[in-house]
Amino acid sequence: MHQEIHAGGKNHPLHYVQTGNGATLLLIHGSLCDYRYWRWQLPALSQDYRVIAPSLRGCWPEALTREDDSYSIARHVSDLQALIQETSPARPVHVLGHSRGAQVALQLAANAPEAVRSLILADPGFRFENEPPAAAFHTRVVDRLRQGDVEEALADFIDSVNAPNTWRHMVGWFKTMVKDNAYTLLSQVHEINLPVKMDDATSLQCPVLLIGGANSPSRYGSRIDRLEQAITQAERVTIPLASHGMNLGNPKAFNQAVLDFLNQVEH
C-alpha cells in the first residue's frame, strides 16, 4: 500500500510502500531507482516481516528534473530517521541498503544506532576516507544527460555498474523506472566521492550482513572485503549467477539470504 509522510516539511513528502506484519525491515534503494526496485522482495519478505520500502527524496513519484542540493546522503538519512520514528517509534528496525542505498544505510546506522536492529549492505560502492578520490563514470554519464542523450547515458550507467550490454537486455519496467529517475544523477554527481569513515563501520554494534553478487564488478567486492575485515560481527554471502542488481538477477537466492539472516537475528 502506497503511503507518505512529510519527513522534510509539508513540501517534501516521503513516499513509501508497506506490506506484511512482524518486525520491520526497511529497504533502501540505490541510484536511478525508487521503491519499485524491490518488486521481487516485497511479496517474499513480507511473508515473515513488515517491509517498508521508501522512494528517497527526489526520486519517483516526485522525481527531480534539475540539480537540487536536497538530493544528498545526509538528507536521505535524515528523512529515513523520520520515517522510522513515524512507523516504528518503539522498536528498532532491520535496514537493508543496496549500492548507493548501502551508504545511506550505513550512515543511518552510525547516526542512529538505537533505531537499527541489524544492517544489511548489498554491493556498497562508496569510497573510504583513507582512499584517494577516484575518477568516476558518473561524470561522463551526466555530460550525456545534459546533452540530451538520455538513453545513451542510462545505458552507460547501467552497463558500468553491471556488465556490458546489460541495459539492452533489461526488461521494460526496469527501464521505465530508471528513465523516471534519470535526472537525479545531476545532483548525485556532486557526492560520487563522498567518503565513509571507517570508524562508522567499526563502531557498529548491531548484527551485519554483507551481500555481493558473484558477477559484480570488482570494486564492489573490494568494499565488502574491507568491511568484512573491519566489522568483527559481519557475516558475508555471495549471490550466485548475479551481478550488481542481484535482487533482480537471482531474487530467490537473495531473498533467502536476507531471510536466513533476519531469522537468525530475531531468534
CA–CA dist 3, 202 (Å, integer): 35
CA–CA dist 113, 101 (Å, integer): 17
Nearest to 195 by CA among 126, 146, 257: 126
Beta bridge partners, 24, equal 50
pLDDT at 179: 97
Contacts of residues 66-71 at CB distance under 8 Å and 24 or more positions apart, as own/partner, are 66/183, 66/186, 67/186, 67/187, 68/187, 69/187, 69/190, 70/8, 70/12, 71/184, 71/187, 71/188
Distances (CA, A) of 31 to 101, 198, 230: 8, 22, 25
pLDDT at 195: 94
Which residues lie closer than 8 Å to 176 by C-beta, 6 or more apart?
A: none
Which residues lie closer than 8 Å to 46 by C-beta, 6 or more apart?
A: 19, 20
pLDDT at 5: 61
Global confidence as pTM: 0.95
pLDDT at 8: 55
What is the block-wise mean pLDDT of the chain (267 residues), using blocks of 10 residues? 58 88 98 98 98 97 94 97 96 98 98 98 95 83 93 94 93 97 95 94 97 97 97 98 97 98 96
Nearest to 50 by CA among 2, 18, 87: 18
Plot region of 148 (φ>0 → left; ψ -120 to 50 → alpha; else → beta): left
106 in Cβ contact with 97 (< 8 Å): yes
87 in Cβ contact with 81 (< 8 Å): no
Burial-class residue 11 by CB neighbours within 10 Å (0-12, 13-18, 19+).
exposed
213 in Cβ contact with 220 (< 8 Å): yes
pLDDT at 132: 86
Listed by start position, the domains of the chain span: 2-132+194-266
Topology (CATH level 3) of domain 2-132+194-266:
Rossmann fold (3.40.50)
